Amino acid sequence: MGRQDILFNLKGEETMKFLHISDLHFHRDQNDNTEAIHVLETIKHRYPNHMLIVTGDITDDGHELQYENAFKALEPFKGGVFIAPGNHDFGAAGTFYSYERALRFDKMLSKPLKQGGTFTGDATPVVNIVGEPGKQVMLIALDTNLETDHPFDFACGEVGKTQLSFLETLLNASTSKKMQKILFFHHHPFVRNDPFMEMIDARQLMRVIFYKVEVVLFGHKHVSGKWKKVHGIQYILASDNTPGKDYAREISITDLKIEVNDVDIKPEVVNRNSKMRRKKKESLIDKIGQ
């Protein structure tokens, strides 16, 4: 289990703010990454004091070039970005688990982005503590990839007994109880009876985190969702596939108060193009009316 304490630069602000995004699916050809690159550039420019949480499928199939492209786009957030792996990061076509690709995730993203821990090998959570003493937030990242080579299994998720045991110990520790906690991973814990998508030990996970974490974040299904005060958790949030979307969820934490809002992440280049199209349309209407 990796852990590091980060005194994030809040620049005098009392509130810690996080943006949740997911499923960037970086490809080998940068021409296919335009939307992902633009949205990350927009977030960095528009929300420079926010921390970023990315819940998996950062690459499309874990190829080395995809990891290179993803790192270039995420490097400006280093020190303030927190990631978890998805099934596409660890396997070809998001289906066939590859230990080589899993190691690549740690070598090319976890370590250079200074995650304070790795996701392959020891099957334990990666933990980061952010904020000043007395006002700290614990960020807990899980690897929910099912390590199987059967094509019908791999899009499913599993926390696993070892990781669940470490998580339970962590959440029961006296130091952890004093902090607000954000738990994040890739797979959707509420999908049921879907042999291609479900998290097979979701019920066991919910028993471990019942009334013990404040926020849960995930992606995977490419469908946005928000659940409030479920299983003793203040907010459970699902992100859609972020590239090309207009909004992302912002989690604001001030002392014991947590707020969740949708914030604009539409790239400026898109906004400018929309304005230009609108002006052309208005000009055409004026001409027709003359």
Q: pLDDT tens digit string along 197-212? A: 889 999 999 999 999 9
- What is the signed CA dihedral for 217, 221, 223, 226, rounded to 10 degrees? -30
Work out the percent of the chain whose per-residue pLDDT is above 90: 71
**Are 1 and 125 contacting, i.e. CB atoms less than 8 angstroms apart?**
yes
270 vs 68, residue with greater confidence: 68
Segment 33-41 shows an average pLDDT of 97
Distance separating alpha carbons of residues 181 and 246, to the nearest angstrom:
27
Segment 33-60 shows an average pLDDT of 97
Please, which pLDDT band fits residue 154 given cuts at 50, 70 and 90?
Answer: low
Q: What pLDDT is recorded for position 92?
A: 79
86, pLDDT greater than 90: yes
Contacts of 183 (CB under 8 A, 6+ apart): 140, 142, 209, 213, 215, 216, 217
Distance separating alpha carbons of residues 130 and 122, to the nearest angstrom:
23
107 vs 194, residue with greater confidence: 107
Q: What pLDDT is recorded for position 272?
A: 47
Segment 263-270 shows an average pLDDT of 83
289, pLDDT greater than 70: no
- The burial class, CB within 10 Å (0-12 / 13-18 / 19+), for 76 is middle
Instruction: Quickly count: other Cβ atoms within 10 Å of residue 280's Cβ.
Output: 10
287, pLDDT greater than 70: no
The DSSP element (H or E) to which 236 belongs, if any, is: strand 233-238
- The burial class, CB within 10 Å (0-12 / 13-18 / 19+), for 179 is middle
191, pLDDT greater than 80: no
Segment 106-124 shows an average pLDDT of 92
Q: Which of 108, 34, 44, 100 is nearest to 71 (CA)?
A: 108
CATH topology of domain 2-289: Purple Acid Phosphatase; chain A, domain 2 (3.60.21)
Which residue pairs, CB below 8 angstroms and at least 24 apart, start in 275-279? none
Contacts of 66 (CB under 8 A, 6+ apart): 26, 27, 28, 59, 60
Distance separating alpha carbons of residues 182 and 63, to the nearest angstrom:
29
Strands 215-218 and 81-84, by their bridges, are unpaired
**Are 116 and 90 contacting, i.e. CB atoms less than 8 angstroms apart?**
no
Distance separating alpha carbons of residues 225 and 19, to the nearest angstrom:
15
Distance separating alpha carbons of residues 125 and 178, to the nearest angstrom:
19
- The pLDDT mean for the chain works out to 88
Please, which pLDDT band fits residue 153 given cuts at 50, 70 and 90?
Answer: low
Q: What pLDDT is recorded for position 8?
A: 52
Please, which pLDDT band fits residue 53 given cuts at 50, 70 and 90?
Answer: very high
**Are 237 and 247 contacting, i.e. CB atoms less than 8 angstroms apart?**
no
14 vs 273, residue with greater confidence: 14
Dihedral sign, Cα of residue 113, residue 109, residue 120, residue 186:
positive
Q: What pLDDT is recorded for position 148?
A: 73
Segment 118-122 shows an average pLDDT of 84
248, pLDDT greater than 80: yes
**Are 144 and 183 contacting, i.e. CB atoms less than 8 angstroms apart?**
no
Contacts of 274 (CB under 8 A, 6+ apart): none
Please, which pLDDT band fits residue 269 given cuts at 50, 70 and 90?
Answer: low
End-to-end CA distance of the chain: 71
